[in-house]
């Protein structure tokens, strides 16, 4: 406040000094008459300037009022976000008896043995519910894990059982099925000498063969010799071919049960001479597969053309 008074006094002194200076004679008018109007105007201007300076000084000295309105805002309310706890799903403890296998195992209908029909294959690690066991306690009657309302028998060699296995019901397996007897097809044929055929200088004997069994013949072999000349006879074929002289007749791929055919020892096996009156001893062999494979049967035959 004291500083304001000193400043104000200095300002007043300056104004007075200025006004005094304004009253000093500046110069004489040409007519010797003082310029009253100019002096008055100058005083008025000086006074106005002084008032303005005083007002500005006072305004500068006095701190400006704070016209701004300070609005104090409350801090925003914190929104509470609860931390979600993970939902814990409780796995119910399965009651009962279960098993798993360490090796893929067949599950069969009626019993666990190979004579029974396979229902499914239980894979390694698959959990299987056990219903009962056999009296020997080495096989289990289980629910088919891959199909609803289906049961089967599983051999327990590779099984690991959990639960009260001793409390399992003892079940009786189906009787082991009696294998169906399939009789081996009977094989048989008959063979007879018919005649001697010629084709130029070559000769061959004609045979009549009939299938008397239940198998089908697909191959023929004729081996033997002329006991007089020791000529070796060696004929084989996957067909049954008939000749009349040099002309080929009916060719059959096989002989089914009851069928018959004429055959000759031709291409190869024919004689290059006339064997008439000689004793011929041969073996005729038929087989169920081409090339002499499968089931074969031989019939010996001797004749004199």
Going from the C-alpha of 190 to that of each of 146, 187, 209, the distances in angstroms are 57, 11, 6
For the chain, 305 residues long, give each residue's pLDDT as a single digit of tens: 555 555 555 565 566 555 555 454 444 444 444 554 555 555 555 566 656 665 555 555 455 545 445 555 555 565 556 555 655 555 554 578 999 999 999 999 999 888 899 999 999 999 999 999 999 889 999 999 999 999 999 999 999 999 998 889 998 877 776 666 666 678 899 999 999 999 889 999 999 999 999 999 999 999 999 999 999 999 999 999 888 878 877 888 899 999 999 998 887 788 999 999 999 999 999 999 999 999 999 999 999 99
CATH number at residue 237: 2.60.40
- The backbone region for 157, taken as left when phi is positive above 0, alpha when psi lies in -120 to 50, beta otherwise, is alpha
Q: pTM above the 0.85 mark?
A: no
The DSSP annotation for 273-288 comes to S--TT--EEEEEEEEE
How far apart (Å, rounded) are the C-alpha atoms in residues 205 and 270?
8
Does any domain span residue 278?
A: yes
Output the pLDDT for position 181. Answer: 64
Output the pLDDT for position 126. Answer: 95
Give first-to-last CA distance, the chain, whole Å.
170
Does any domain span residue 213?
A: yes
Give buried/exposed letters for 247-269 (b at 16+ CB in 10 A, else e). Answer: eeeeebebbeeeeebbbbbbeeb
Total structural domains within the chain: 2
Output the pLDDT for position 280. Answer: 94
Output the pLDDT for position 267. Answer: 78
Does any domain span residue 81?
A: no
How far apart (Å, rounded) are the C-alpha atoms in residues 7 and 1?
10
Q: Are residues 114 and 193 in the same domain?
A: no
How are beta strands 151-155 and 139-143 bridged, if at all? antiparallel
Residue 110 domain boundaries: 98-170
Local structure of 299: helix, strand or coil: strand
Output the pLDDT for position 246. Answer: 82
CATH number at residue 141: 2.30.30.40
């Amino acid at each position: 406040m004291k500083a304001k008074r000193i400043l104000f006094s200095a300002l007043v002194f300056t104004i007075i000094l200025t006004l005094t200076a304004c009253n000093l004679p500046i110069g004489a008018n040409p007519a010797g008459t003082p310029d009253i109007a100019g002096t008055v105007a100058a005083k008025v201007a000086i006074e106005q300037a002084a008032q303005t300076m005083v007002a500005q000084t006072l305004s500068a000295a006095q701190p400006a009022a704070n016209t701004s309105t300070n609005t104090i805002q409350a801090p925003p309310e914190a929104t509470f976000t609860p931390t979600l706890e993970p939902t814990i799903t409780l796995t119910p403890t399965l009651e009962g008896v279960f098993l798993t296998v360490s090796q893929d195992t067949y599950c069969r209908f009626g019993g666990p043995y190979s004579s029974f029909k396979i229902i499914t294959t239980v894979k390694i690690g698959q959990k299987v519910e056990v219903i009962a066991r056999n009296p020997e306690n080495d096989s289990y009657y289980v629910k088919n894990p891959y199909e609803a309302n289906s049961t089967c028998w599983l051999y327990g060699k590779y099984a690991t059982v959990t639960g009260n296995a001793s409390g399992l019901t003892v079940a009786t397996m189906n009787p082991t099925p009696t294998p169906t007897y399939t009789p081996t097809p009977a094989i048989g044929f008959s063979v007879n000498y018919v005649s001697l055929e010629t084709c130029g200088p070559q000769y061959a004997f004609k045979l009549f063969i009939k299938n008397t069994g239940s198998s089908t013949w697909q191959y023929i072999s004729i081996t033997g010799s002329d006991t007089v000349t020791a000529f070796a006879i060696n004929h084989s074929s996957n067909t049954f071919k008939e000749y009349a002289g040099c002309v080929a007749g009916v060719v059959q791929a096989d002989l089914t049960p009851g069928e018959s055919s004429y055959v000759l020892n031709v291409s190869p096996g024919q004689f290059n001479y006339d064997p008439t009156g000689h004793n011929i001893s041969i073996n005729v062999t038929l087989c169920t597969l081409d090339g002499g494979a499968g089931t074969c049967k031989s019939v010996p035959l001797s004749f004199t053309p």
